[in-house]
């Protein structure tokens, strides 16, 4: 009986040793399997920002740029009593400010700044219109020099798209040396009687355009 017990124990020990060796062989070897590695790359092109701003077909620049605001689209013509491109009481004309969006984003005119050189106090008045097709003199020149920048900014209130059909906005600024009352004739005459030192009337106009940032819905 004791011999049988020893025999069983020896067999169990041998079996355990065999199983251990089989397990070691299985875990130590490389098993065949399917393997795959995948990857993807996402990219986007940066939207272009390119806004062209012109006054009477001359581009505004970052530095000081002379633009003929008062010597083109000028009335009356040269044979009507005033030398061409000269200011005088009753003379009027217009200039156009054109903002063209060549970007890939929606833009807006966010600021307008105007500085006038008017040492002699020329009585300039303005009318700001958004209908550049109409070349008829406005009925009223009711915009003062000090309010001109606000009127121009208001005229550019709508955003400007990048789509070709509506990527440009034109604002026409009519101007005149007001001559509505004879009471100002003496002042006007004093301005025009200058000898060799011709007074200059000038406007420096700065237009700021920027991207329109959409506001997320609440």
For residue 27, is it within any domain?
A: no
For residue 32, is it within any domain?
A: no
CA dihedral of residues 204, 59, 107, 125 (deg, nearest 10): 40
State which residues form the domain around 91. 51-211
What is the value of pTM for the model shown? 0.77
| 33: region left, alpha or beta (phi > 0 left; psi from -120 to 50 alpha) | beta
For residue 28, is it within any domain?
A: no
Q: What is the pLDDT of residue 29?
A: 59
In whole angstroms, how far apart are CA 9 and each of 5, 12, 13, 154, 186? 6, 5, 6, 103, 136
For residue 139, is it within any domain?
A: yes
For residue 145, is it within any domain?
A: yes
Q: What is the pLDDT of residue 149?
A: 96
Beta strand 168-177 with 92-101: parallel, antiparallel or unpaired? antiparallel
Closest CA relative to residue 202, chosen from 105, 65, 89: 65
For residue 18, is it within any domain?
A: no
Calpha distance 172→99 (Å, rounded):
12
* 14: number of Cβ within 10 Å: 10
For residue 35, is it within any domain?
A: no
For residue 62, is it within any domain?
A: yes
Domain count, the chain: 1
Beta strands per DSSP E along the chain: 51-55, 58-59, 74-75, 92-101, 107-117, 124-129, 143-144, 168-177, 202-211
Q: Are 181 and 146 in contact (CB under 8 A)?
A: no
Q: Tens of pLDDT along the chain (218 residues)?
A: 544 445 555 554 554 545 555 455 445 556 888 888 888 898 899 999 999 999 988 888 766 567 778 876 766 665 567 887 788 888 888 899 999 999 999 999 999 999 999 988 899 999 999 988 778 889 899 999 999 999 999 999 999 999 988 899 999 999 999 876 667 788 888 899 988 888 889 888 989 999 999 876 66
């Amino acid at each position: 009986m004791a011999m049988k017990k020893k025999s069983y124990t020896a067999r169990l020990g041998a079996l355990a040793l065999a199983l251990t060796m089989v397990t070691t062989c299985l875990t130590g070897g490389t098993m065949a399997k399917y393997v795959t590695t995948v990857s993807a790359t996402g990219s986007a092109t940066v939207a272009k920002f390119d806004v062209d701003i012109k006054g009477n077909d001359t581009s505004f620049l970052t530095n000081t740029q002379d633009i003929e605001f008062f010597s083109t689209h000028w009335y009356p013509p040269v044979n009507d009593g005033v030398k061409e491109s000269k200011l005088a009481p009753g003379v009027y004309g217009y200039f156009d400010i054109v903002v063209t969006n060549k970007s890939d984003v929606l833009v807006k005119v966010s600021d307008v700044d105007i500085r006038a050189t008017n040492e002699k106090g020329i009585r300039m008045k303005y009318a700001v219109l958004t209908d550049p097709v109409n070349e008829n003199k406005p009925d009223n020149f009711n915009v003062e020099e000090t309010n001109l920048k606000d009127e121009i900014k208001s005229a550019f209130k709508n955003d400007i798209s990048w789509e070709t059909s509506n990527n440009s906005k034109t604002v026409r600024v009519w101007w005149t040396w007001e001559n509505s009352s004879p009471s100002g004739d003496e002042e006007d005459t004093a301005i025009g009687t200058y000898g060799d030192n011709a007074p200059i009337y000038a406007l420096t106009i700065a237009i700021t355009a920027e991207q329109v940032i959409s506001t997320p819905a609440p």
